[in-house]
């Protein structure tokens, strides 16, 4: 099985180890992973801020970068969701809409790819800890993916997964939302952290770099010690 890694901006700049863990898991499961050099930002910040033409420039570069890929796999439900928005972004364009649709159809978030394409529910991970899982908004609402992370986590040896109150609530990041609406964003992430602490978990797991950065950043600013891990880090533990 050959697949291409879409590392994302946050993956490349802040979470290289999580991206490395993702690649190691996929290779262990029999995948041949390549990394198209032309990939850039998916354009989501510009698109969400209303700058459609600027977002289209990024989208065109992404489409060209992955045109020969059989599958595109990314450690971010948010960025995977954005790539699946491309056909709507280019709706009515006879050249770019079909190319955008082709990319959207072969793009998967990391856990989604393992469960739905590879057909694997147990990757052989071992992680003895009490954990809870934050469900990212875009993965849930854009990708409509709610089961794959839990399917894989429940088969991690030694991991006790604790339910998170109001798990469906946003952590307050929302890309540019956290910059434009700072007081509201702070209240949202503080509420998320309180719910996480109430579980008694040793670690918080998420499948999206944006949520990871926002929650971990707020935890650090408040002087708390709760670690936040990308799900690839858990699934690559043995």
SS (H, E, C) 41-89: CCCHHHHHCCCHHHHHHHHHHHHHHCCCCCCEEECCHHHHHHHCCHHHH
Residues 96/63, Cβ–Cβ less than 8 Å: yes
pTM: 0.94
139-197 per-position pLDDT tens digit = 988 888 999 999 999 999 999 999 999 888 999 988 778 878 889 999 999 999 999 99
Q: What average pLDDT score do residues 22-44 get? A: 97
Distance CA 51, CA 88 (A): 15
Residue 92 scores a pLDDT above 80: yes
**Which CATH number is associated with domain 121-235?**
3.40.50.11810
Strand, coil or helix: what is 119? coil
pLDDT at 63: 98
Per the listing, tokens 């891990």 go with 229
Task: Find, among 111, 84, 122, the residue nearest to 207 by Cα.
Answer: 111
Residues 63/100, Cβ–Cβ less than 8 Å: yes
188-211 per-position pLDDT tens digit = 999 999 999 999 999 999 999 999
Domain positions in the chain are 2-116, 121-235
Q: What average pLDDT score do residues 97-110 get? A: 98
Distance CA 220, CA 201 (A): 17
Cα 65 from chain centre: 20
């Amino acid at each position: 099985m050959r697949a291409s890694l879409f590392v994302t901006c946050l993956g490349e700049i802040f979470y290289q180890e999580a991206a490395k863990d993702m690649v190691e898991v996929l290779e262990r499961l029999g995948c041949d992973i390549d990394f198209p050099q032309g990939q850039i930002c998916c354009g989501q910040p510009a698109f969400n801020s209303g700058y459609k033409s600027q977002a289209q420039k990024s989208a065109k570069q992404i489409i060209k970068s992955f045109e020969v890929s059989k599958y595109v796999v990314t450690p971010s439900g948010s960025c995977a969701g954005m790539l699946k928005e491309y056909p709507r972004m280019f709706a009515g364009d006879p050249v770019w809409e079909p190319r955008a649709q082709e990319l959207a159809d072969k793009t998967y978030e990391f856990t989604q790819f393992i469960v739905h394409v590879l057909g694997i529910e147990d990757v052989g991970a071992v992680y003895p800890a009490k954990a809870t899982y934050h469900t990212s908004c875009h993965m849930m609402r854009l990708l409509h993916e709610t089961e794959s992370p839990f399917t894989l986590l429940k088969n991690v040896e030694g991991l006790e997964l604790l339910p998170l109150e109001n798990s469906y609530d946003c952590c307050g990041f929302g890309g540019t939302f956290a910059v434009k609406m700072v007081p509201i964003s702070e209240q949202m992430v503080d509420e998320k952290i309180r719910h996480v602490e109430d579980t008694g978990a040793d670690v918080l797991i998420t499948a999206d770099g944006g949520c990871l950065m926002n929650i971990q950043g707020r935890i650090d600013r408040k002087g708390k010690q709760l670690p936040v891990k990308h799900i690839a880090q858990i699934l690559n533990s043995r």
